[in-house]
Amino acid sequence: MNPARAFEARTLLFVPGDRPERFAKAVASGTDCICIDLEDAVASDRKAAARAEVMQYLQQRQGGPFVCIRANGLRTAEGLRDLLALLEVPPPDAVLLPKTESAQELQLASEVAGDGRLRWIALIESAQGLRNADDIVLHSPHLAALMFGGVDFSVDIGAAFQWESLLYARQKLVCAAALKGLPLIDVPFLDLDRPEALAEETRRVAALGFACKSAIHPRQVADIHLALRPTDAQLDKARRIVEAAEAAGGGVFTVDGKMVDAPVIAGARRTLALAPR
């Protein structure tokens, strides 16, 4: 792993850890990040076999997209086995820690890993995790990103898995991630037969401040990328703002008769980051 590799993904595609034949297919989908799942996607009697497959993949992989591994929860024996196994192979770009509820969990995981060897994506899936989101962001070492686990969260609070029920949690996580400028990943859209609804939800979470939408099937990847793509006019304006900022060398200036300062420049750079790759 390159320790400096930032999480800049627009899409995170889940793939079951016990289906190694799907790993290459996930990479070929064009996703910016693949997340190999050792937790929910793997039956309890397949955990050891899946762990062995994932460790072999990490031993052999060369380049490609950002790779994260969703470990089992650190409060479980399987999660501890996952963590120890990851210390014996070339590390992934990040480890997705499910059901994160406190900064202490990530502090302990980092102490076990040692020397910043592993970086983390904290998956917030409960009311307790949401309550502690600010503290998790501010006091967790080696945190690469934050993710909203909306399905488990809705079960935890007894709410329907729908936009209105999850809006508050999404907004709170946007504010928490912003405390450290962390990218924020949204829960997958579960209905594979409604690409228009997937695109609409992707645009809505992007407007809230999410940087990435997770996916459960390769065919969702292109739809998410297209939904996140700025218009040609937006890209043109963003380029002109960034070019004018570089020419000005600092301070406040105008583009198209409107004042431009540091926050506007930062927004223009975010827009350019969403250009087709």
CATH number of the domain that 220 lies in? Answer: 3.20.20.60
Would you list which residues are annotated within the binding site? 70, 125, 152
Would you list which residues are annotated within the binding site for Mg(2+)? 125, 152
The pTM of this model reads: 0.90
* DSSP bridge pairs for 107: none
Residues of the domain holding 217: 11-228
Please check whether residues 183 and 242 belong to one and the same domain.
Answer: no
Cα distance between residue 238 and residue 260, in whole Å: 11
User: Would you say residue 206 lies in a domain?
Assistant: yes
Cα distance between residue 144 and residue 93, in whole Å: 9
Give yes or no for residue 1 having a pLDDT over 50: no
Across all residues in the chain, what is the average pLDDT?
Answer: 94
Per-residue exposure over 166-199, b if at least 16 CB sit within 10 Å of its own CB, e if not: beebbebbbebbeeeebbbbbbbbeeeeebeebb
Q: Look at residue 3 in the predicted model and tell me its pLDDT.
A: 52
pLDDT digit string, tens, across residues 112-141: 998 788 999 999 999 999 999 999 999 999
Please check whether residues 148 and 249 belong to one and the same domain.
Answer: no
More confident residue, 155 or 235: 155
User: Would you say residue 19 lies in a domain?
Assistant: yes
User: Would you say residue 4 lies in a domain?
Assistant: no
Cα distance between residue 5 and residue 8, in whole Å: 9
Q: Per the structure, how many domains does the chain have?
A: 2
Would you list which residues are annotated within the binding site for substrate? 70, 125
- Cα dihedral 196→201→203→205 (10° resolution): -170
Please check whether residues 183 and 264 belong to one and the same domain.
Answer: no
Q: Which residues make Cβ contacts (< 8 Å) with residue 232, sequence separation at least 6?
A: none
